[in-house]
Amino acid sequence: MKKLGVLTSGGDAPGMNAAIRAVVKAASHYHVEVMGIQVGFQGLIDGKIHKLTSQEVEDIADRGGTILKTSRSLEFMEETGRKKAFNRLKDLDIDSVIVIGGEGSLKGAEKLQKLGINVVGIPGTIDNDLAYTDYSIGFDTTLNTVLECIGKIKDTDYSHDKTTIVEVMGRYCGDLALYSALAGGGEIISTPERPLDLYSICSKLRLRMSSGKNDNLVIVTERMYDLQDLQHYIEKKLNISVRTTSLGFIQRGGNASAFDRVLASNMGVKAVELLMNGYSGLAVGMKENKMIHKELGCVNSEIADKQDKYRLLEKLLG
Ligand SMILES: Nc1ncnc2c1ncn2[C@@H]1O[C@H](COP(=O)(O)OP(=O)(O)OP(=O)(O)O)[C@@H](O)[C@H]1O
Ligand SMILES: O=P(O)(O)OC[C@H]1O[C@](O)(CO)[C@@H](O)[C@@H]1O
Ligand SMILES: [Mg+2]
């Protein structure tokens, strides 16, 4: 490896900074120069690239967001944009790039690799929607933020005997809702993997109310319902008053959890080591507590099997 570029892309995720730190530290261990590519693939196209020093990343492991900034680049989706990005790398003699981002970013990484750059991807997204890895960087921190918020909502729900609908992020993946419920943060959940229709949500609520539980938390993944319609439907059907909270961007910020920092550190170092050993076109991940790597082409098509987790949930929620 001659010179390494690193970028963050897609939604920011807590732990991305810890991954950047690990990449820079590991590269410096092998005496490889690292260039920080600002603002994701768009910054690469625009040439926003500077040398990243060990000093610059010394104190960033805990910080949420990404010091490199990020973007969703429409231009990189086009071949002409990607060609510009490729030329920027060639001009600066950067032969290898580490892409930290979600499933979209790893698709972008695969395309960059096909242009002849050595590329390794690191999964960084709060959505945890990459099936090849048990966890992506950011998911654990966000899950903890969601649980903290839900805990607060539950206090007021209990005091007023109220039902609340809480909408969490995840794009088309229900993991944030699923794991929140597994951790005791919700009694009724609806996710893209196991969607409930309005009628079923009311039936479940009715059952809980008939057993004397009048403060109930319905946790749903974003983009599944018009929240106002859902609230009004339940209110009318069950003759109760319902509150609705969409947790929004509070979920994406905040200091990275210890888990995410350690995961990011492992992944950052592993990505550099793969490149040092001549590998390319791979994404690093974690499966059953072990670091793994897979071909970028495969990671993008793998579908997650969540059966076990949903079976566990059935036993917990009854
Ligand atoms: N098929 C693709 N080809 C080339 N580039 C892509 C492709 N899909 C996504 N990208 C690039 O990756 C960027 C980020 O993708 P996306 O918006 O899907 O976020 P993500 O990486 O999945 O992260 P998150 O879901 O956490 O926000 C896109 O804006 C685009 O620049
Ligand atoms: O920041 P934006 O572009 O509004 O994206 C929001 C999306 O990003 C995520 O926070 C992370 O992918 C999703 O959960 C959410 O759907
Ligand atoms: Mg995504």
pLDDT of residue 302 exceeding 90: no
ipTM of the complex: 0.99
CA dihedral (276, 282, 286, 291) in degrees, to 10, reads -30
Sequence ranges of the domains in the chain: 3-127+256-298, 139-253
Question: Residues annotated as binding site for ATP?
Answer: 11, 72-73, 102-105
Of all residues in the chain, the percent with pLDDT exceeding 90 is 97
| Mean pLDDT within 17-43 | 98
Burial bucket for residue 301 (CB in 10 Å: 0-12, 13-18, 19+): exposed
Task: Kindly give the pairing relationship between strand 242-246 and strand 163-168.
Answer: parallel
Closest listed residue to residue 178, CA positions, set 289, 300, 287, 316: 316
Kindly state if the Cβ of 43 falls inside 6 Å of ligand 2: no
| Mean pLDDT within 137-158 | 97
Directed axis angle between helix 139-160 and helix 258-276, to 10°?
160
Of all residues in the chain, the percent with pLDDT exceeding 70 is 100
In angstroms, what is the span from residue 43 Cα to ligand 2's centroid? 19
- Of all protein residues, the one whose alpha carbon is nearest to atom 5 of ligand 1 is 108
Closest listed residue to residue 245, CA positions, set 129, 165, 139, 137: 165
Kindly state if the Cβ of 125 falls inside 6 Å of ligand 2: yes
In angstroms, what is the span from residue 10 Cα to ligand 3's centroid? 7
In angstroms, what is the span from residue 55 Cα to ligand 1's centroid? 30
CA-to-CA distance for 224 and 132, rounded, in angstroms?
A: 24
* Comparison of pLDDT for 300 and 36, the residue scoring more: 36
Give per-residue pLDDT as tens, 172-188. 999 999 999 999 999 99
Give per-residue pLDDT as tens, 55-100. 999 999 999 999 999 999 999 999 999 999 999 999 999 999 999 9
Paired tokens of 247: 């947790």
Which 3 state secondary structure label does DSSP give 141? helix
In angstroms, what is the span from residue 11 Cα to ligand 1's centroid? 9
pLDDT score for 50: 98
pLDDT score for 233: 98
Architecture of the domain made up of 139-253: 3-Layer(aba) Sandwich (3.40)
- Of all protein residues, the one whose alpha carbon is nearest to atom 8 of ligand 1 is 104
pLDDT of residue 301 exceeding 80: no
Kindly state if the Cβ of 191 falls inside 6 Å of ligand 1: no
Q: Give catalytic status of residue 127 as yes or no.
A: yes
pLDDT, mean over the chain: 97
Kindly state if the Cβ of 11 falls inside 6 Å of ligand 1: yes
Give per-residue pLDDT as tens, 241-278. 999 999 999 999 999 999 999 999 999 999 999 999 99
Q: CATH fold of 3-127+256-298, please?
A: Rossmann fold (3.40.50)
pLDDT of residue 318 exceeding 80: no
pLDDT score for 180: 98
pLDDT band at residue 303 under the 50/70/90 scheme: confident
Kindly state if the Cβ of 252 falls inside 6 Å of ligand 2: yes
Ligand 1 atom showing the smallest separation from residue 75 Cα: 31
- Domain 139-253 in the same topology as domain 3-127+256-298: yes
